[in-house]
Amino acid sequence: MIFIVEDDENIREMEGYALRNSGYETRGFSRGEELSEALERELPELIILDIMLPGEDGLAILKRLRDSERTSLIPIMMVTAKTTELDKVRGLDMGADDYLAKPFGIMELVSRVKALLRRAGQSGDDGRILTYGEIRLDDTSRKVTVGEAPVDLTFKEYELLKFLLTNVNRVMPRDRILSEVWGFDYEGESRTVDMHIKTLRQKLGASGSAIKTIRSVGYKLGD
Protein backbone atom coordinates (compact mmCIF):
# COMPACT_ATOMS: atom_id res chain seq x y z
CA MET A 1 0.00 0.00 0.00
CA ILE A 2 1.24 3.49 -0.96
CA PHE A 3 -0.20 6.59 0.71
CA ILE A 4 -0.34 9.77 -1.41
CA VAL A 5 -0.70 13.09 0.44
CA GLU A 6 -1.49 15.80 -2.12
CA ASP A 7 -4.09 18.57 -1.89
CA ASP A 8 -4.42 18.98 -5.67
CA GLU A 9 -7.04 16.37 -6.56
CA ASN A 10 -5.97 16.14 -10.20
CA ILE A 11 -2.34 15.46 -9.32
CA ARG A 12 -3.34 13.03 -6.57
CA GLU A 13 -5.55 11.09 -8.96
CA MET A 14 -2.87 11.09 -11.66
CA GLU A 15 -0.26 9.71 -9.27
CA GLY A 16 -2.66 7.09 -7.94
CA TYR A 17 -3.74 6.00 -11.42
CA ALA A 18 -0.14 5.59 -12.60
CA LEU A 19 0.85 3.57 -9.55
CA ARG A 20 -2.25 1.36 -9.67
CA ASN A 21 -1.51 0.63 -13.32
CA SER A 22 1.94 -0.51 -12.17
CA GLY A 23 0.43 -2.97 -9.72
CA TYR A 24 0.41 -0.95 -6.48
CA GLU A 25 -2.48 -0.28 -4.12
CA THR A 26 -2.88 3.38 -3.21
CA ARG A 27 -4.85 5.62 -0.89
CA GLY A 28 -5.04 9.37 -1.32
CA PHE A 29 -5.30 12.17 1.24
CA SER A 30 -5.53 15.95 0.89
CA ARG A 31 -4.41 16.95 4.40
CA GLY A 32 -2.06 15.80 7.12
CA GLU A 33 -4.96 15.13 9.48
CA GLU A 34 -6.40 12.54 7.09
CA LEU A 35 -3.00 10.85 6.85
CA SER A 36 -2.70 10.69 10.65
CA GLU A 37 -6.08 9.01 10.97
CA ALA A 38 -5.19 6.44 8.30
CA LEU A 39 -1.83 5.68 9.95
CA GLU A 40 -3.65 4.74 13.13
CA ARG A 41 -5.26 1.87 11.20
CA GLU A 42 -2.58 0.86 8.69
CA LEU A 43 1.10 1.44 7.93
CA PRO A 44 1.93 1.79 4.23
CA GLU A 45 5.01 0.57 2.39
CA LEU A 46 5.75 4.12 1.23
CA ILE A 47 4.38 7.65 1.57
CA ILE A 48 4.40 10.20 -1.26
CA LEU A 49 4.19 13.56 0.53
CA ASP A 50 3.64 17.00 -0.98
CA ILE A 51 5.26 19.94 0.83
CA MET A 52 2.68 22.64 0.11
CA LEU A 53 -0.41 21.44 1.99
CA PRO A 54 -3.21 23.30 3.77
CA GLY A 55 -2.75 23.38 7.54
CA GLU A 56 0.26 21.29 8.54
CA ASP A 57 2.78 21.41 5.69
CA GLY A 58 4.74 18.46 4.35
CA LEU A 59 7.97 19.23 6.19
CA ALA A 60 6.15 19.37 9.52
CA ILE A 61 4.45 16.06 8.72
CA LEU A 62 7.81 14.57 7.71
CA LYS A 63 9.35 15.59 11.04
CA ARG A 64 6.43 14.14 12.98
CA LEU A 65 6.65 10.84 11.10
CA ARG A 66 10.40 10.56 11.63
CA ASP A 67 10.08 11.42 15.34
CA SER A 68 7.58 8.61 15.91
CA GLU A 69 9.02 5.14 16.53
CA ARG A 70 6.00 3.61 14.79
CA THR A 71 6.49 5.49 11.50
CA SER A 72 10.18 6.43 11.55
CA LEU A 73 11.27 3.75 9.06
CA ILE A 74 8.55 4.23 6.42
CA PRO A 75 10.20 5.38 3.15
CA ILE A 76 9.01 8.90 2.27
CA MET A 77 9.23 10.63 -1.10
CA MET A 78 8.71 14.39 -1.09
CA VAL A 79 6.90 15.86 -4.10
CA THR A 80 6.78 19.63 -4.45
CA ALA A 81 6.82 22.59 -6.79
CA LYS A 82 9.73 24.01 -4.82
CA THR A 83 12.99 23.37 -6.66
CA THR A 84 15.64 25.38 -4.84
CA GLU A 85 18.63 23.55 -3.43
CA LEU A 86 17.77 24.80 0.09
CA ASP A 87 14.27 23.28 -0.03
CA LYS A 88 15.66 20.00 -1.32
CA VAL A 89 18.40 19.84 1.29
CA ARG A 90 15.95 20.65 4.10
CA GLY A 91 13.70 17.78 3.11
CA LEU A 92 16.56 15.30 2.80
CA ASP A 93 18.16 16.46 6.03
CA MET A 94 14.88 15.96 7.87
CA GLY A 95 14.72 12.35 6.76
CA ALA A 96 13.10 12.24 3.30
CA ASP A 97 14.33 9.30 1.24
CA ASP A 98 13.81 10.90 -2.16
CA TYR A 99 12.71 14.22 -3.63
CA LEU A 100 10.75 14.77 -6.85
CA ALA A 101 10.08 18.29 -8.15
CA LYS A 102 6.96 19.26 -10.10
CA PRO A 103 6.38 19.09 -12.98
CA PHE A 104 7.54 15.49 -13.33
CA GLY A 105 6.87 12.64 -15.73
CA ILE A 106 4.65 9.78 -14.64
CA MET A 107 7.24 7.23 -15.73
CA GLU A 108 9.84 8.99 -13.57
CA LEU A 109 7.49 8.85 -10.56
CA VAL A 110 6.85 5.12 -11.02
CA SER A 111 10.57 4.44 -11.55
CA ARG A 112 11.51 6.35 -8.39
CA VAL A 113 8.84 4.56 -6.36
CA LYS A 114 10.05 1.15 -7.58
CA ALA A 115 13.67 2.02 -6.74
CA LEU A 116 12.76 3.30 -3.28
CA LEU A 117 10.66 0.25 -2.44
CA ARG A 118 13.41 -2.02 -3.76
CA ARG A 119 16.01 -0.38 -1.52
CA ALA A 120 13.69 -0.51 1.48
CA GLY A 121 12.88 -4.17 0.82
CA GLN A 122 16.51 -5.13 0.46
CA SER A 123 17.63 -3.36 3.60
CA GLY A 124 16.85 -6.29 5.88
CA ASP A 125 17.17 -9.26 3.55
CA ASP A 126 20.55 -10.69 4.41
CA GLY A 127 20.17 -11.03 8.18
CA ARG A 128 23.75 -10.06 8.93
CA ILE A 129 25.13 -8.87 12.22
CA LEU A 130 27.56 -6.02 11.58
CA THR A 131 29.83 -4.77 14.37
CA TYR A 132 32.62 -2.33 15.01
CA GLY A 133 33.85 -1.76 18.54
CA GLU A 134 30.73 -1.41 20.68
CA ILE A 135 28.51 -0.67 17.68
CA ARG A 136 26.25 -3.57 16.71
CA LEU A 137 23.76 -3.59 13.84
CA ASP A 138 21.32 -6.49 13.52
CA ASP A 139 20.01 -6.36 9.96
CA THR A 140 17.25 -8.89 10.64
CA SER A 141 15.55 -6.86 13.35
CA ARG A 142 16.98 -3.53 12.11
CA LYS A 143 18.17 -2.75 15.62
CA VAL A 144 21.32 -0.86 16.49
CA THR A 145 22.99 -0.90 19.89
CA VAL A 146 26.11 0.64 21.39
CA GLY A 147 27.20 -1.66 24.17
CA GLU A 148 23.89 -2.62 25.77
CA ALA A 149 22.13 0.64 24.91
CA PRO A 150 19.66 0.75 21.98
CA VAL A 151 20.16 3.53 19.41
CA ASP A 152 17.10 5.01 17.70
CA LEU A 153 18.00 5.82 14.09
CA THR A 154 15.94 7.15 11.20
CA PHE A 155 15.65 5.07 8.03
CA LYS A 156 18.47 6.94 6.29
CA GLU A 157 20.73 7.06 9.37
CA TYR A 158 20.38 3.29 9.63
CA GLU A 159 21.22 2.77 5.95
CA LEU A 160 24.20 5.11 6.26
CA LEU A 161 25.58 3.26 9.28
CA LYS A 162 25.03 -0.08 7.56
CA PHE A 163 26.95 1.14 4.51
CA LEU A 164 29.86 2.33 6.65
CA LEU A 165 29.90 -0.92 8.64
CA THR A 166 29.96 -2.88 5.39
CA ASN A 167 33.02 -0.89 4.32
CA VAL A 168 35.03 -0.65 7.54
CA ASN A 169 38.45 1.04 7.12
CA ARG A 170 37.61 2.06 3.55
CA VAL A 171 37.36 5.73 2.60
CA MET A 172 33.92 6.42 1.10
CA PRO A 173 33.64 9.59 -1.03
CA ARG A 174 30.53 11.69 -0.50
CA ASP A 175 29.23 11.06 -4.03
CA ARG A 176 29.59 7.30 -3.49
CA ILE A 177 27.65 7.54 -0.23
CA LEU A 178 24.90 9.55 -1.95
CA SER A 179 24.67 7.03 -4.75
CA GLU A 180 24.67 3.93 -2.54
CA VAL A 181 22.55 5.16 0.38
CA TRP A 182 20.19 7.59 -1.34
CA GLY A 183 20.11 5.72 -4.64
CA PHE A 184 20.51 8.77 -6.87
CA ASP A 185 23.29 11.17 -7.76
CA TYR A 186 22.27 14.33 -5.89
CA GLU A 187 24.91 16.52 -7.47
CA GLY A 188 25.96 19.40 -5.25
CA GLU A 189 24.09 18.11 -2.20
CA SER A 190 26.98 16.69 -0.19
CA ARG A 191 25.67 18.73 2.76
CA THR A 192 22.99 16.06 3.11
CA VAL A 193 25.68 13.46 3.82
CA ASP A 194 27.47 15.79 6.24
CA MET A 195 24.28 16.46 8.21
CA HIS A 196 23.41 12.77 8.46
CA ILE A 197 26.97 11.94 9.57
CA LYS A 198 26.68 14.63 12.25
CA THR A 199 23.42 13.29 13.68
CA LEU A 200 24.66 9.69 13.41
CA ARG A 201 27.78 10.53 15.41
CA GLN A 202 25.67 12.23 18.06
CA LYS A 203 23.34 9.26 18.42
CA LEU A 204 26.25 6.80 18.65
CA GLY A 205 27.73 8.77 21.55
CA ALA A 206 31.40 8.12 22.25
CA SER A 207 31.44 5.44 19.55
CA GLY A 208 30.55 8.10 17.00
CA SER A 209 34.19 9.19 16.96
CA ALA A 210 34.93 6.00 14.99
CA ILE A 211 33.44 7.76 11.95
CA LYS A 212 36.38 9.74 10.60
CA THR A 213 36.19 12.74 8.28
CA ILE A 214 38.58 12.48 5.33
CA ARG A 215 39.07 16.07 4.35
CA SER A 216 37.83 17.05 0.86
CA VAL A 217 36.92 13.41 0.15
CA GLY A 218 34.35 11.83 2.47
CA TYR A 219 34.20 9.54 5.47
CA LYS A 220 35.30 6.19 6.79
CA LEU A 221 34.44 4.03 9.77
CA GLY A 222 37.60 2.67 11.37
CA ASP A 223 41.16 3.56 12.30
Fold observed for domain 129-221 = Arc Repressor Mutant, subunit A (1.10.10)
The model's pLDDT over 53-67, given as tens digits with 9 standing for 90+, comes to: 999 999 999 999 988
The answer to whether 154 touches 195, Cβ cutoff 8 Å, is: no
Q: What is the pLDDT of residue 125?
A: 45
The answer to whether 4 touches 48, Cβ cutoff 8 Å, is: yes
Q: What is the pLDDT of residue 69?
A: 81
The model's pLDDT over 81-136, given as tens digits with 9 standing for 90+, comes to: 765 556 666 667 677 888 888 888 888 899 889 888 877 765 444 457 899 999 99
Name the residue ranges covered by the structural domains of the chain. Answer: 2-122, 129-221
Write down the pTM of the prediction: 0.62
Alpha helices in the chain (DSSP H): 9-21, 32-41, 58-67, 85-93, 106-122, 155-166, 174-177, 190-204
The answer to whether 175 touches 181, Cβ cutoff 8 Å, is: no
Residue type, 1: M
Q: What is the pLDDT of residue 192?
A: 80
Q: What is the pLDDT of residue 116?
A: 84
Residue from 50, 57, 38, 61 nearest 8 by CA: 50
Residue type, 199: T
The model's pLDDT over 172-222, given as tens digits with 9 standing for 90+, comes to: 998 888 888 876 555 555 678 888 999 999 999 999 999 999 988 999 998
Fold observed for domain 2-122 = Rossmann fold (3.40.50)
